[in-house]
Amino acid sequence: MKDRVLVLYGSYRSDRIGIRLADYIVRGLEGRGNDARLIDAREIGLPMLDRMYKEYAPGEAPQAMQDLAEQIRSADAFVFVTGEYNWGVQPGLKNLTDHFLEEWFWRPAAVASYSAGRLSGVRANLTWHGTLTEMGMVVIPSTVAVGPIAKTLDEHGAPVGEAGQALDRAFSRLADDLTWWTAAAKNQRATTPPPY
């Protein structure tokens, strides 16, 4: 049975370039036999957080929030694709993520970051590790950090030159790691009830 992996992306910019990395990861996961789905925060368009999904009475959450909650609950794993804004995380992705809590529990997550510069969004990458752990996910140790992104992936999301080759190697390790943790989490959920 295929693993269902949600690839979450959060830039709202009109000239967003990180979508190249999100598309690359979706294609890479599909190429490894996964059911990978892009979750684009801008397309979903949740409002700024006022009430979490769980704070709505059953059936009263906005439809986009209800649909996303169902996708999150049915996922086996997650990949968060993040840019870095002023040493921090993208507000669009953080806002989308914060609408939910228990829906994320007991599944692994990976982080892939990018930037226009050479630091590859690593400060946002690091910040997401703590945030996702607090939200009940197991964050795998392997990561992807891409920068400068325009010199790593072309406009179609295809790897370019030596930087693209380095990305391919890093992605392969991340995907192997995520597959292992996904299988471990599935097995544990099937045999042992969560402690809370």
Tell me what pLDDT residue 57 has: 97
Instruction: Check residue 33 and report its DSSP letter.
Output: T
Which secondary-structure segment (H or E) carries 64? Answer: helix 63-74
Q: What is the CATH number of the domain that holds 164?
A: 3.40.50.360
**Domain range for residue 170?**
4-191
Residue 72 lies in a domain: yes
- What is the residue-wise DSSP string for 65-90? HHHHHHHHHH-SEEEEEE-EETTEE-
What pLDDT is stored for residue 196 in this prediction? 83
User: Considering its fold, how many domains does the chain have in total?
Assistant: 1
CA distance 135 to 163: 32
Q: Both tokens of residue 177?
A: 């790691």
Check residue 22 and give its pLDDT.
98
196: in domain: no
Going residue by residue through the chain (196 aa), what tens digit of pLDDT does each one get? 799 999 999 999 999 999 999 999 999 999 999 999 999 999 999 999 999 999 999 999 999 999 999 999 999 999 999 999 988 999 999 999 999 999 999 999 999 999 999 899 999 999 999 999 999 999 999 999 999 999 999 999 999 999 999 999 999 999 999 999 999 999 999 999 988 8
Count CB atoms within 10 A of the CB of residue 81: 31
Q: Considering the domain boundaries, does residue 140 fall inside one? A: yes
Instruction: Specify if 41 maps to a domain.
Output: yes
Predicted pLDDT of residue 107: 97
